[in-house]
Amino acid sequence: MNLDFKCLKCGYDKYQVATCIIPEKNNTLKLELGKYYIKTCLHCGYSEMYSAKIIAQNEKNELYEPAKS
């Protein structure tokens, strides 16, 4: 995962990434397990969560463009 990161709270640019699995409902109301990345600011602990599925889709379709800093 190569998302640019700058903490929204304090502007720090170092982070750690954790992975977690969360049950989610799809269109047929069946439970699926969704994988998420959690980026945590190493300075203040503020965390952002990203859907691994959507990141993978965007990388495949080459639609994803990282925010320019």
Applying CB under 5 A, which residues contact Zn ion?
7, 9-10, 12, 41, 43-44, 46
The least distance separating Zn ion from the CB of residue 62, rounded to whole angstroms, comes to 31
Nearer to Zn ion, 6 or 53 (CB): 6
Identity of the residue, 8 or 22, whose beta carbon is nearer to Zn ion in the bound complex: 8
CA proximity to 52, closest of 20, 30, 24, 25? 20
Q: Name which of 22 and 44 has its Cβ closer to Zn ion.
A: 44
Shortest Å distance, C-beta 9 to Zn ion = 5
Label residue 67 exposed, middle or buried (CB < 10 Å: 0-12, 13-18, 19+). Answer: exposed
